[in-house]
Amino acid sequence: MSNSSEWIARGDQHIAKTYGRYPLVPVRGAGCRLWDADGREYLDFLAGVAVNNLGHCHPKVVAALQDQAARLLHCSNYYHIPQQIELAEILCAHSFGDRVFFCNSGAEANEAAMKLVRKYSREKYGENRFEVITALASFHGRTIGTISATGQEKVKTGFAPMVPGFKYVPFGDAQALKSAISPNTCAVMLEPVQGEGGVNVPPAGYLQAVRQICDEHGLILVFDEVQVGCGRTGKLFAYEHDGVEPDVMTLAKALAGGPPIGAMVAREPFVSTLGPGTHGSTFGGNPLMAAAGIATLKVLLEDGVLENCVAMGDYLRIRLEELQLRYPFVTAIRGRGLILGMELSIDGGEIVTKALQRGLLINCTVGCVLRFVPPLIVSRAEIDEMIAILDGIFAEQR
Ligand SMILES: *Cc1c(COP(=O)(O)O)cnc(C)c1O
């Protein structure tokens, strides 16, 4: 087994250079901790970017994977897959959804949603009804379709031409959304809380207003809950905070507690527009990932994880606000549950690098917003430890 610097040198030779990686080689994890190839310990407040919601290697998820791995790893979606059926039952029982399409990632879930809204609307209203309105500062994935949907130029550079049929409006402005509607508009796609765009929580009443506008104009409402679903905000799904339901919701990241999975949850009559042969995925909803998904949702719903997320979200926010009072370069704290952003008037990237050197994993979005998305099982003691590290770094900034 190589040490960290040997692994980094080997990776430099043969791994595609698509990520600006930090010099960290994690090899083991448990709860909110990671250990690197040199045996060094880290406190993880990034959680694989909101994936490890139950912490690393949650014993019930690991047991479900081990058990399923020994029975059946994969079979085709030409056949019926019990684990996939059970996972769909749980998702529909706890949401607005009637049916679920399974895939392997957030981008794929959004691709399924975009195919659904186009096909349904064209069949119902005519050939030209294919435009989707999304938000500025949104993030929907890295495929050609989902970078076209994303309201940020930086993900599109070099990849033109984009898929036609997207319009972007400021997030949180219902009037702007209304003005962007044309006879060709078929759907609106939004993150209920924007993650990559800087942890942006919409103003109260915004999502209700969007729902109403969609109803008035016959538009399908899609919520991308890839980052903020699965308990991250303190409710199972982020839309529950706003008293509105979408017609389609996409999930991925935390749905199986670590292993790759994606899902599009949707209601009738929309979802049945995707009939046999219209969409598919070789691996989507395979027995192994679906078994991990069932175990993950059961822990989320039955083991007090959502309650802990609410309590620890409140506590983390209070502790971050204390730092805001003491350090003038902290300009805002925002978020919901355990997705919290701290906006800085200084470079956030440098803070992330210093945190890593001190054994703390956090990240920075849009250059100046520190993002805290720890496992939802995080404790007060771990939050205190994180705050102490951050305080030490901030004290050096003066
Ligand atoms: C991460 C993310 C995606 C993309 O998910 P992948 O699994 O990386 O394809 C899409 N939407 C949102 C809101 C995300 O945070």
Quote the number of domains for the chain. Answer: 2
pLDDT tens, position by position, 151-209: 999 999 999 999 999 999 999 999 999 999 999 999 999 999 999 999 999 999 999 99
> Which residue puts its alpha carbon closest to atom 10 of ligand 1?
140
How many whole angstroms from 365 Cα to the centroid of ligand 1?
A: 14
Would you state the pLDDT for residue 398? Answer: 67
Within this chain, do residues 327 and 365 fall inside the same structural domain, yes or no? Answer: yes
Return the ∠ at Cα 305 (arms to 300 and 311), rounded to 5°. 150
Ligand 1: atom nearest CA of 142 is 9
Within this chain, do residues 84 and 46 fall inside the same structural domain, yes or no? Answer: no
Within this chain, do residues 152 and 284 fall inside the same structural domain, yes or no? Answer: yes
| Residue that terminates a domain, selected from 275, 302, 329 | 302
Backbone CA torsion sign across 187, 190, 196, 202: positive
pLDDT tens, position by position, 80-96: 999 999 999 999 999 99
| DSSP states of 45-58 | SSHHHHT-TT-BT-
> Residue 365 annotated as binding?
no
Burial class (CB in 10 A: 0-12, 13-18, 19+), 53: buried
Within this chain, do residues 187 and 320 fall inside the same structural domain, yes or no? Answer: no
If you compute the radius of gyration of the chain from its CA atoms, what whole number of angstroms results?
21
Q: Pairing between strand 166-169 and 360-361?
A: unpaired
| Residue that terminates a domain, selected from 237, 269, 302 | 302
Distance CA 359, CA 349 (A): 15
| 131 C-beta neighbours (distance < 10 Å), count | 21
- Ligand 1: residue of 144, 227, 233, 283 to mutate (most ligand atoms within 8 A of CB) is 227
How many whole angstroms from 391 Cα to the centroid of ligand 1?
A: 31
> Residue 218 annotated as binding?
no
H/E stretch holding 144 reads: helix 144-149
CATH number at residue 122: 3.40.640.10
Contact 173, 116 (CB under 8 A): no
Rounded average pLDDT over 224-250: 98
CATH number at residue 317: 3.90.1150.10
Given a cut of 90, whether residue 316 has pLDDT beyond it is yes
pTM: 0.98
Would you state the pLDDT for residue 181? Answer: 98
Q: Which domain holds residue 125?
A: 72-302
User: Per the domain annotation, does 377 fall within a domain?
Assistant: yes
Rounded average pLDDT over 231-239: 98
Within this chain, do residues 217 and 314 fall inside the same structural domain, yes or no? Answer: no
Ligand 1 pocket by C-beta < 6 Å: which residues? 105-107, 110, 139-141, 191, 195-196, 224, 226-227, 252-253
Would you state the pLDDT for residue 57? Answer: 98
> Residue 157 annotated as binding?
no
> Which residue puts its alpha carbon closest to atom 5 of ligand 1?
106
- Ligand 1: residue of 46, 49, 103, 140 to mutate (most ligand atoms within 8 A of CB) is 140
Which residues have C-beta within 8 Å of that of residue 21, sequence separation ≥ 6?
Answer: 11
Contact 283, 105 (CB under 8 A): no
Cite the active site residues.
139, 224, 253
3-state secondary structure of 43: strand
Given a cut of 80, whether residue 1 has pLDDT beyond it is no
> Residue 107 annotated as binding?
yes
pLDDT tens, position by position, 103-114: 999 999 999 999
Rounded average pLDDT over 217-238: 98
Would you state the pLDDT for residue 92? Answer: 98
Average pLDDT, the chain: 98
Within this chain, do residues 145 and 248 fall inside the same structural domain, yes or no? Answer: yes
Ligand 1: atom nearest CA of 105 is 7
Within this chain, do residues 118 and 157 fall inside the same structural domain, yes or no? Answer: yes
Within this chain, do residues 23 and 116 fall inside the same structural domain, yes or no? Answer: no
